[in-house]
Amino acid sequence: MPDIVLATINARYVHASLGLRCLFANLGALQAQARIVEFVSGGGIESMLERILALRPRIVGFGVYVWNVDETTRLVAQLRCVAPEVRVVVGGPEVSHEPDAQRLCALADFVVSGPGELAFAQLCRQLLHGPRPLMKSITGATPDLDALASPYPYYDARDVRERFVYVEASRGCPFKCEFCLSSLDRTAEPFALEPFLAELDALHRRGARRFKFVDRTFNLKAATGAAILEFFLQRLAAAPDDPVFAHFELVPDHLPQRLKDVIVRFPPGTLQFEIGIQTWNPQVQALIGRRQDDARAQDNLRWLRAHTHAHLHVDLIAGLPGEDLASFGAGFDRLVALDPHEIQVGVLKRLRGAPIARHTTSHGLVFNPDPPYNVLATADLPFPDVQRISRFARYWDLIGNSGRFPRTRPLLLGAQPFDRFMALSDWLYAQTDATHRLAAERQFELVRAWLLGPGGTGAGDVDAAITHDYAASGLRGRPSFLSRGLSGPARSSATPVRQARHLG
């Protein structure tokens, strides 16, 4: 039985925790006494507790994030009741700031803020062998990245076969966007390139085919980014029938020719870029400390869409200080015109420690006091408008981003995409009183009904587009506008389902 359990609650099964594996890798001699235990959100608190206590640990360390803090708090509260002798350590972004305001931190024996690899190992040695630390709050020291033990051997066979493998080529971010915790970083620091490529090679040889890079600024240094992309191109060339899928986060206004020359060589279904535009409004950008050359970002998005097979997932944030509904809508329309595969519409969140909180009074920011701390209203965006955008975001994800409506989407958006889709969103909510649990067949039926009714679109165009889209979607039901069900298309083994739909 292990003395130490490292635990976290992942948002989905396909996510494997890189943070826990970093902690485990750097436990040194204590590694033999430790075990990683991962849960999935919604799995049942008592069941999680039972799994932990079956291992009879002396120390349990929890990785805490905005998506799991509520469940982790309930889990720790029950652990305290059932096994008060177990020492509880919490760490991670959610507890690294404002710990005095959090019930979870009050329940825990120790709170580790900041980088945890060195601090957690030292704390475990003290708890197991003495002397016991005197302070509850422990600030993690920034490690020498090249001195850290690698976490990647601790992805097991199931991880590499069934889940995204999270990797990091660098840590930190040089930018100061106030809505992001990375604005507190001094800069971005890379891991040594050759050892990192060797780790990627080992993961690939073990069977890993889905890689997700957590770097905030993957393309900051073109030479490093190009070398990593070349690594994947070499594997694709060696085994084109055994493809990989790699996800990177890009700075939108920095795409030098050296990177373009590599990106353009990737085949369909193998490369995804997450690109944070967040806002096109220059006054809002200046207010929140975001440096972005909008013209260059726009040119880069246009080039990526026109000349590469990369899947483009672009982020916009509603509710930023100084941005009203009209400004956000104009930004959405500008992005739609660039035709990325997905536009992620998010609502501003006040992450603990993020400097965005400094605008609370001056811009009337009202935040949800509970996770995920989403903005409820601003001086420029009253509560009813925030609610409308939140519903818009959910319906857009179901319909606009899903890849199921490629021919129907232009009919939905017309010449004024934001206004048209907001009208659809308002109508959908009036019809269903729901933003979740809408079956895919029902979505097709509702979209068709809106287009033929309030959307004012001709029946011939609508039925031709929506029948084609349903036939290509892979759904097997029988919506009201079809006389029989249909079977779905095959897809690449490495490309995730949603991204595969956009391959057309």
Secondary structure of residue 148 in the 3-state scheme: coil
Domain membership of residue 387 (yes or no) is no
CATH number at residue 201: 3.80.30.20
> Could you tell me the pTM of the whole model?
0.93
CATH number at residue 110: 3.40.50.280
Domain membership of residue 23 (yes or no) is yes
Geometric angle at alpha carbon 115, from 278 and 13, rounded to 5°:
65
Segment 223-248, tens digit of pLDDT = 999 999 999 999 999 999 999 999 99
My answer on whether 227 and 374 are in the same domain is yes
Based on its alpha-carbon atoms, the radius of gyration of the chain, rounded to whole angstroms, reads 24
What are the residues whose beta carbons fall under 8 Å from the beta carbon of 69, sequence distance 6 or more? 94, 95, 102, 104, 371
- Which of the listed residues 312, 346, 381 is the one where a domain comes to its end? 381
DSSP for 98-124? -GGG-HHHHHSSEEEES--HHHHHHHH
Domain residue limits at 85: 4-146
Domain membership of residue 392 (yes or no) is no
- Which of the listed residues 146, 163, 190 is the one where a domain comes to its end? 146
Res. 496 pLDDT band, cuts 50 70 90: confident
Segment 332-346, tens digit of pLDDT = 999 999 999 999 999
Q: Could you tell me which residue, 442 or 488, shows the higher pLDDT? A: 442
My answer on whether 46 and 132 are in the same domain is yes
Segment 181-190, tens digit of pLDDT = 998 988 899 9
**Spatial separation of the C-alpha atoms in residues 366 and 350, rounded to whole Å:** 10
Please give the pLDDT value at position 493.
66
Q: Is the pLDDT of residue 488 over 70?
A: no
- Which of the listed residues 381, 411, 428 is the one where a domain comes to its end? 381
Segment 310-364, tens digit of pLDDT = 999 999 999 999 999 999 999 999 999 999 999 999 999 999 999 999 999 999 9
My answer on whether 42 and 161 are in the same domain is no
